[in-house]
Amino acid sequence: MSESQQAVLTVRDLSIDYLVAEPVRAVQSVSFDLFRGEILGLAGESGCGKTTLAYGLNQLHKPPAAITGGSVIFHDAETGRAVDVLALAGEKLRRFRWAKVSMVFQGAMNSLNPVISIRAQLADVFASHAPDLSREQRLRRSEELLELVGVDRRRISAFPHELSGGMRQRVMIAMALALDPQLMIMDEPTTALDVVVQREILDEILRLRQELGFAVIFITHDLPLLLEISDRIAVMRRGELVELATAEDLYFDPQHDYTATLLSSFPSLTGDAGDFVRAGYQERR
């Protein structure tokens, strides 16, 4: 088996409920494998369970959400061990997050603390997860991370309000990369950015993935975007994973009616519905 076909994450029958007066099954028996260096797109309409699933993979969900079944196994390339993520708790879970699996949250560019400098916020990552680093080492590593994501290291003294939305988003990606994770989960990382900045961020993600070799779960309702950047695409509907296929197979031969509906739902200015998706896909591929 080649390195690219070795699993980094194995999810089996994962179910997540919201335990309210009338419990809601937000994720229903979802199973998939994620391979090293792969970009797995996760698509579906708003409210279908994409973000709930992402939070469950890293135990980031909060009550009333609760995992009610299934397993999440992380295959650690550094140690060669299989880690039962759902069995982790306390300090072990804290050390696992961000070091092995990191996340860029939805609306991440607004997640920075507005009254703390970028230097302090990046340094805090290392203070929490790599306390052995000296102050000078933390600063040097923070500057390297900014340059890695295309931000001038001189902006490290800036406060969030002094940065554009795209630059704040890049800082959040830098934070997610700080501890060299093997998997990065990105929940609609380009939402609220203009199309030019979206393209810059996407190109940066693709470049970093190629350079550093981490796997990506990229969550969005924008199926044409996933056709462009993903190796495989998983389609969710009402908490279920209704289709999982390569981008090419899903585009040319969707197996589920809902997937076909998604593909045909993007209008064209010059042709039938769905022509926009087909034309863009063929041009990019």
- pLDDT tens for 132-175 read 999 999 999 999 999 999 999 999 999 999 999 889 989 999 99
pLDDT score of 1 = 37
Cβ neighbourhood burial of 275 (10 Å; 0-12, 13-18, 19+): middle
pLDDT score of 270 = 60
Place of tokens 């940065």: 163
pLDDT score of 240 = 96
Residues of the chain within CATH 3.40.50.300 domain(s) are: 3-100+183-248
d(C-alpha 278, C-alpha 282), whole Å: 6
Residues 6+ apart with CB under 8 A from 49: 16, 26, 27, 28, 236, 238, 239
Pairing relation of β-strands 101-104 and 183-187? parallel
User: What are the 10-residue block averages of pLDDT along the chain, 285 residues in total?
Assistant: 73 97 95 97 93 95 95 96 96 92 83 92 90 92 94 94 91 93 92 83 92 95 89 96 96 92 74 51 49
Neighbours of 100 (CB within 10 A): 22
pLDDT score of 108 = 67
Three-state DSSP state, 275: helix
Report the CATH fold assignment for 3-100+183-248.
Answer: Rossmann fold (3.40.50)
Phi, psi of 108 (to 5 degrees): -60, -30
pLDDT score of 223 = 86
Tokens of 17: 């409920």
pLDDT score of 224 = 86
pLDDT score of 179 = 93
Q: Where are the alpha helices (DSSP H) in 50-180?
A: 50-57, 90-96, 118-129, 135-148, 165-177
pLDDT score of 269 = 55
C-alpha of 24 from chain center: 24
